[in-house]
C-alpha cells in the first residue's frame, strides 16, 4: 500500500457553508483518515491519511466543495503518514 499524508490549507468561502461536513462525507467515501477544522484566518485545515491516489481524488473533491462554498486555493504539504487516526473527524 502506498500510504501518504496530506496537510491542506483550504482558502475561500469555506466556513459556515457546510465545508467540513462535506469533507467528512467525502473522506469516508474514500476511506481517508484525519480531520478537518476551521482556522481563525477563515480557512479550513485538513489532514488526510490514506492511499496516495485516493487522497488525490479526495483533494479534487475538496477543490469543488459543497455548492454553497467557493474554494479559491488549496495549499498542499505532503508528509509521511503517522497512522494516528482511526477515522475522519470534524473538529
Residues annotated as part of the active site:
20, 38
Q: Which residues pair with 5 in a beta bridge?
A: 49, 79
Cβ–Cβ under 8 Å, residues 30 and 54:
yes
Which cell numbers in the block locate residue 75? 495549499
How far apart are the C-alpha atoms of 46 and 38, rounded to whole Å? 9
User: Sign (positive/negative) of CA torsion 68, 8, 53, 48?
Assistant: negative
Amino acid at each position: 500500500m502506498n500510504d501518504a499524508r496530506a496537510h491542506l490549507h483550504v482558502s475561500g468561502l469555506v466556513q459556515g457553508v457546510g465545508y467540513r461536513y462535506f469533507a467528512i462525507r467525502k473522506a469516508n467515501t474514500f476511506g481517508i483518515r484525519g480531520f478537518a477544522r476551521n482556522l481563525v484566518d477563515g480557512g479550513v485545515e485538513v489532514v488526510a491519511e490514506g492511499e496516495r491516489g485516493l487522497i488525490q481524488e479526495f483533494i479534487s473533491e475538496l477543490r469543488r466543495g459543497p455548492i454553497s462554498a467557493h474554494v479559491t486555493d488549496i495549499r498542499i504539504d505532503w508528509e509521511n503518514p503517522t497512522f494516528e487516526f482511526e477515522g475522519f473527524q470534524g473538529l
